[in-house]
């Protein structure tokens, strides 16, 4: 078990087990707030498994040009990814890797510097592909190894539904949900244990290159490098595409958020961030539950208690009754009147048969980011449209 999974405040967006009190409260004493302690693999949607392999890709012929080619396969799956380990390369990399399939899919990678030690491919559709290594050097000093294969699997579906399940397809909704939802993406990443692929949700904030999600989703450099932000995975007419990340700017456990920078800006606006909602306020959540195509919860989606504890004893959260699944972690919760993001969904909680979810109050997230990146927040007070 990784140190991350052992964090006492680890949490996720679904069926969560409340921590048991160490002692019974004294008569007349106020009960202590309940915090959450769980293992990530029990609560996040799982979308794949990691297989350890050892496939050297050492150049066999002289360059320049193609110096290596190798067919690869991944049985019993419909999609897979490869991780490449760089054991040796020249001080000035002049090589690149290409992956192609019989169906015409192509992916290429060129290292940015000699400091790169590993990299993941995009998702390859099908069960087989060909890997080629190209080099500009006549005798390339290069040793590559494919050391991990990720195989897609059916997504697990731990639930946090306040029955009846009233989730709706995003593609059927009108404005302003249509425009707001373009800034919400599905996330896939390999966890630090390198055993599973998890799915979460994230959204654009501050600029069209910055993305918010949960700390319990992505909070390490390795996970950031493995992550894919799946844009326009809507089930409609838009063609989905995957975008990588360039930086993990900050990660905060108590408020359960991570701020990441995309490798490229997205061609859409960012969500407007707002203050905490009032009790009983109507809400809207746009999400990728269980890694599925984008969905919304609107009916009976409202605030239950506007100030409650979250992953610590501090009252950082509010309760809500919007329907979610594993994979909804990191989704934006909108005030249904202003359509400002008032919360970051992160917990499913069911104390004493009271089925509610929890979201971090967005005003606290803004304030914490402002401490480290005031230039990012202050131009708009955290509400850049």
Q: Tens digit of pLDDT for each residue in 98-137?
A: 999 999 999 999 998 888 899 999 999 999 999 999 999 8
Reported pTM: 0.85
pLDDT in tens, 66-104: 999 999 999 999 999 999 999 999 888 899 999 999 999
List pLDDT tens digits, range 126-180: 999 999 999 998 888 899 999 999 999 887 665 566 678 899 999 999 999 999 9
CB 131 within 8 A of CB 145: no
Give percent above pLDDT 70 in the chain. 83
Locus of tokens 């606006």:
269
Specify the pLDDT at position 10.
33
pLDDT tens digit sequence for 22-59:
333 444 444 444 444 445 655 577 889 999 999 999 87
pLDDT, tens digit, 9 for 90 and up, residues 270-310:
999 998 898 899 999 999 998 999 999 999 999 989 999 88
Q: Rounded to 5 degrees, what angle do the CA atoms 161, 163, 169 make? A: 65
Domains and CATH numbers, the chain: 1-17+158-385 (2.40.10.120), 49-152 (2.60.120.260)
CB 123 within 8 A of CB 81: yes
pLDDT digits (tens, 9 = 90+) for 231-246: 999 987 778 999 999 9
Query: How much of the chain exceeds pLDDT 90, in percent?
Result: 65
Burial class (CB within 10 angstroms; exposed 0-12, middle 13-18, buried 19+) of 5: middle
Q: Tell me the C-alpha distance between 9 and 302, whole Å.
A: 25
């Amino acid at each position: 078990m990784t140190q991350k999974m052992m964090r006492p405040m680890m949490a996720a967006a679904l069926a969560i087990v409340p921590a048991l009190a160490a002692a019974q409260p004294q008569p007349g004493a106020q009960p202590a707030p309940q915090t959450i302690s769980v293992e990530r693999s029990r609560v996040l949607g799982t979308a794949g498994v990691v297989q350890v392999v050892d496939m050297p890709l050492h150049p066999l012929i002289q360059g320049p040009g193609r110096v290596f080619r190798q067919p690869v396969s991944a049985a019993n799956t419909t999609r897979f990814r490869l991780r490449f380990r760089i054991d040796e390369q020249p001080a000035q990399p002049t090589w690149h890797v290409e992956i192609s399939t019989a169906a015409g899919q192509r992916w290429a990678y060129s290292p940015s510097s000699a400091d790169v030690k590993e990299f993941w491919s995009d998702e390859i559709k099908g069960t087989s592909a060909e890997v080629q290594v190209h080099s500009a050097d006549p005798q390339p000093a290069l040793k590559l190894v494919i050391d991990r294969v990720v195989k897609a699997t059916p997504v697990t579906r731990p639930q946090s539904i306040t029955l009846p399940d009233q989730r709706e397809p995003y593609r059927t909704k009108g404005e302003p949900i249509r425009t707001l939802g373009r800034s919400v993406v599905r996330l896939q990443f390999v966890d630090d244990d390198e055993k599973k692929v998890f799915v979460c949700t994230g959204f654009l904030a501050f600029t069209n290159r910055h993305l918010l999600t949960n700390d319990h989703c992505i909070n390490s450099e390795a996970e950031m490098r493995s992550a894919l932000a799946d844009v326009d995975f809507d089930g409609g007419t838009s063609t989905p595409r995957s975008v990588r990340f360039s930086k993990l700017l900050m990660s905060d456990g108590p408020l359960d958020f991570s701020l990441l920078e995309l490798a490229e800006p997205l061609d859409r606006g960012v969500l407007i961030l707002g203050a905490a909602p009032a009790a009983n306020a109507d809400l809207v959540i746009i999400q990728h539950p269980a890694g599925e195509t984008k969905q919304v919860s609107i009916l009976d989606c409202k605030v239950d208690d506007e100030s409650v504890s979250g992953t610590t004893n501090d009252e950082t959260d509010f309760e809500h009754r919007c329907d979610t699944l594993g994979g909804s972690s990191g989704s934006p919760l909108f005030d249904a009147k202003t359509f400002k993001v008032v919360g970051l969904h992160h917990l499913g909680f069911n104390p004493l048969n009271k089925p509610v979810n929890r979201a971090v109050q967005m005003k606290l997230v803004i304030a914490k980011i402002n401490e480290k990146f005031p230039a990012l927040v202050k131009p708009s007070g955290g509400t850049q449209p």
